[in-house]
Chain A
Amino acid sequence: DTGVSQNPRHKITKRGQNVTFRCDPISEHNRLYWYRQTLGQGPEFLTYFQNEAQLEKSRLLSDRFSAERPKGSFSTLEIQRTEQGDSAMYLCASSPPFPRGDTQYFGPGTRLTVL
């Protein structure tokens, strides 16, 4: 069990550019979550996958954001036409299938800076 991994760890981009982040969950965890955390705040839920299906999506997630989990393993989060307000830490978490529990285990995050 190597834990949740995220790549890249840091991303600096110019406003208007597209960026893509990757999350590899703990193996055998079929549930995967994306959160966003800004400085001094707790994480905010963005979206949730069970296997390859995206089951929930927060109102925080604008049309410029899209997440995929095509094979039910790793997931990608893409932000198109980035804005300065998108600067944040993007966290990924995974949890095992029911009924093994619903604790979410978090990755180290990808810190996005939009200039």
Chain B
Amino acid sequence: AQKVTQAQTEISVVEKEDVTLDCVYETRDTTYYLFWYKQPPSGELVFLIRRNSFDEQNEISGRYSWNFQKSTSSFNFTITASQVVDSAVYFCALSESTIRSDNDMRLTNDMRFGAGTRLTVKP
């Protein structure tokens, strides 16, 4: 069964500090997808990134960067020079994929979320 662990329940930093949110996952599949979502106080989940299991290249998007390491089953998220607007709950999620006999890859739709990390950035 797939499982996502976000060990950090809450993190508090001062503006302009860098912060890393940890995500560790478990899956038996060799093909899967990992996601990060942001949930600001307004409540709506905002998609940040999707990464498939074959692509271990780290990604940088502005102040955001992601470090995917299959060897440790981790998909960590770093915010550089944090800002007050970054304050939110951040969720890591995993979705497994099933390859059918005709090699037509199908994505399982049962996305599993971690419990989330509440990030507070103080001015």
Interface string of A11-44 (1 = CB under 8 A from B): 0000000000000000000010100000011111
Q: How far apart are B37's CB and chain A's nearest CB, in angstroms?
A: 7
Asked if A105 is at the interface (CB within 8 A of a chain B CB), the reply is yes
Q: Is the CB of B44 within 8 A of A103?
A: no
Name A106's closest neighbour in chain B (CB-CB).
B45
Interchain CB contact (< 8 A) of A104 among B4, B44, B47, B116: B47
Asked if B122 is at the interface (CB within 8 A of a chain A CB), the reply is no
Those of A63-115 within 8 Å (CB) of chain B:
89, 91, 93, 98, 101-109, 111
29 A–B contacts, CB within 8 A, in A order? A33-B109, A40-B115, A42-B4, A42-B91, A42-B116, A43-B45, A43-B111, A43-B113, A45-B109, A48-B109, A48-B110, A89-B43, A91-B45, A93-B45, A101-B50, A102-B33, A102-B95, A103-B50, A104-B35, A104-B47, A106-B37, A106-B46, A106-B47, A107-B44, A108-B42, A108-B44, A109-B43, A109-B44, A111-B43
